[in-house]
Structure 1
């Protein structure tokens, strides 16, 4: 059907959850299928722990992407996909990564969450669910801020980085429908290199580590008696506890994200 020719019913709104693995393509080809299977198994376990087994077993759509997947779910479950999903996924990946041996890479995931109208056929979940809302979910997943945040964190501690669309943040987080406090999120401009995509979005990291402990706060006042010590601007700052995002401004955090990319 050609657009702008007649009015039609708006497709149902779907919660769209997408995940992919950091550095997936850097792994040997023989490891790709086991990693893909592990991701599905782990996320299924997380859904089960949240009491969302039925939604996992009957999604509006489910599209594997090799290094991850996208799934369409009823919008009423959005509060649970905001939290506790990220936290439980972090816990499950921590346990999984303790079993990693030798040269095997730890499994670390980026997560994006969006909502919008999408046509889907639950009878053929692998072939439907296409549209702008889903495209934007994948763009958020590939955006610079969420990649930079996961890269800056310790690969031994932080295994999950989440990015929420502004619609999800406003309708779910700011509105108070989820257990996640808005101050646990930080506003960022989500852009993708080589793509005409730019949206306001919100980062959430369930377990903060590495450079993230100093990334969201301003640098301390300079010593009144300067020395010849060389200062690394990335390492100078005030430590922020687990409530990352409660100290510093979105502008400061965005600037630091740019530095650590």
Structure 2
């Protein structure tokens, strides 16, 4: 997960926005009925403007089917509090999901460095995902996700989610300076179109990979975090401790006066 244009926010707000990312992720997973994914996450690491962790492959369908839409909901609820603190304060997320074997013993940082973790980071940085969010209305579309070809084939085409195949758009995930170009699929739970940008997001027909893939022992989830919680008591009855600024915009105003 990464925040969209994280550094465009004023410096005074960046520490709180960074701290909010894992909080928002935990809330979204709890709302999905998946608190164990958070509690049992592997090699978690904050990147300042994002977060990365691994989980068991059996949870991948739920990450695609439930977590991505719940992140949109949580960010939508938090947005008014951000706007109250400062009109242009913004938090939107890019999310990427991939499947592959990753060591989960010993030193967390060392063990997570593998082909699947590199791959999922490349997906996250790819041009189509960035363009999809850039060309959407920033007050409406708060989360955009990209899944690898393998996740699409195993999870979506395999029938393990409630999402229809047509809710995903085939793209070529390119990161030019890394020489990366792979078939992938975009999923945006709440679509919109930026009024000043009429060009469509670049798409291509995603081809099934002919190369064999190793049996997965761990799934890597990497993505972004955004905006929205209006009360310390979450609607589904789950109570979580959140940073004070989630609920009180006065602190920021006092600091800036």
- Fold match, TM over 0.5? yes
Which structure 2 segments of 5+ residues have no match? Answer: 206-257
Structure 1 residue aligned with 2:23 = 41
Q: How many residues align?
A: 203
- CA contact under 8 A between 1:112 and 1:164: conserved in structure 2? yes
- Return 59-68 or 197-206, whichever deviates more: 59-68
Show CA shifts across 1:40-83 (max 9, x none): 10110011111211221121210111100111000000000001
Do the aligned residues in 2 keep the contact of 1:20 with 1:69 (CA within 8 Å)?
yes
Q: What does the per-residue CA deviation read over 1:166-215, in whole Å, with 9 as the maximum and x for residues that have no partner?
A: 00000000111011111000000000131111100000000011249xxx
Give the 3-state SS of the residue equivalent to 1:114 in structure 2.
strand
> What are the within-5 Å matches in structure 2 for residues 13-162 of structure 1?
19-101=1-83, 102-121=86-105, 125=108, 128-162=111-145
Would you tell me which structure has more helix in proportion to its own residues?
A: 2
Provide the rounded CA distance (Å) in 2 between the counterparts of 1:131 and 1:164. 18
Q: Alignment partner of 1:117: what SS?
A: coil
**Over alpha carbons, which structure has the higher Rg?**
1
Q: What CA distance in whole angstroms lies between the structure 1 residues aligned with 2:65 and 2:23?
A: 19
Q: Residue 135 of structure 2 contacts residue 197 of structure 2 at CA under 8 Å; is this kept in 1?
A: no
Alignment of 1:142-221 (within 5 A): 142-211=125-194
Structure 1, gaps ≥5 residues long: 1-18, 213-231, 238-244, 253-261
TM value normalised by structure 2: 0.73
Asked if the contact 1:63–1:127 (Cα under 8 Å) also holds between the matched residues in 2, the reply is no
State the TM-score, normalizing by the size of structure 1.
0.72
State the superposition RMSD in angstroms: 2.4
**Rounded Cα–Cα distance in structure 1 between residues aligned with 2:39 and 2:11:** 29
Per the TM alignment, residue 125 of structure 1 is displaced from its structure 2 partner at its CA by: 4.0
Quick one: distance in 2 between partners of 1:126 and 1:52?
A: 24
Secondary structure of 2:112's partner?
coil
SS of residue paired to 1:98: helix
